[in-house]
Amino acid sequence: MKEFEGMSNEALALLYVGGNNKAFDELLERTQSKLYAYIMFVVRNEDLANDIFQETFVKVITKLHEGRYTDSGQFSFWLMRIAHNAIMDWYRAQKSDRIVDLADDNDLSNLSGSEVQDSFRECELVNEQVMADVRRMMEELPATQREVVYMRFYQQLSFKEIAQLTGVSINTALGRMRYALMNLRKMAKEHQIELALEY
């Protein structure tokens, strides 16, 4: 809408709190495709993605009306955090034991600096030639691991940003990536797919 041209998402959110419903329509228009793509990538189910997308915006509206949003210049970050929490709530309710997952109390803080460095090197970009295979195998990963891989490789977020977005320590984010890579390698071996990681 032309009347909101040049306005930030944060300003639109505050306008909506002030009673301007058109500001919310504009906010939804600006953010929905990126948010839905993120949710869909993590959950891999259209009906579930739609449910979580709607739940996210219900929570956004509720939090806005409760005054639980302040203009910090990071509305999109705040929105993704709410979506992340909604996804994790659903997965906690559906916990699957099919594949190795990182324990909640394992944040890799017991590793030495060189071991963490080695883990970080494992997290370099996956060679473009194998991205299609990796995407298919990612569907089998637990949601927490799939989410970190998506944020790192597809959204180009740093581990610090991933940690902030998902509400975990940097070591936990690194640990999830490490377990995701271990699981991807295991699946690649089982399906005889060659993975070329850049170290």
The residue among 173, 151, 184, 175 whose CA lies nearest residue 42 is 151
Q: 0.85 cut: is pTM over it?
A: no
CA 185/CA 195 separation, integer angstroms: 7
Q: Is the pLDDT of residue 103 over 60?
A: no
* Number of residues assigned to the chain: 199
User: Mean pLDDT across the chain, nearest whole number?
Assistant: 78
Bigger pLDDT: 66 vs 106: 66
The residue among 100, 189, 198 whose CA lies nearest residue 153 is 198
Task: State pLDDT tens for residues 29-83.
Answer: 999 999 999 999 888 889 899 889 988 988 888 888 888 887 777 888 899 989 9
The average pLDDT across 170-193 equals: 85
Using DSSP's 3-state secondary structure scheme, residue 96 falls into coil
Q: Is the pLDDT of residue 112 over 50?
A: no
Q: For the chain, list the strands marked E by DSSP.
A: none
Please compute, for residue 89, the number of CA atoms within 13 A of its CA located in the half-sphere on the CB side. Answer: 11
Q: Contact 155/146 with Cβ under 8 angstroms?
A: no
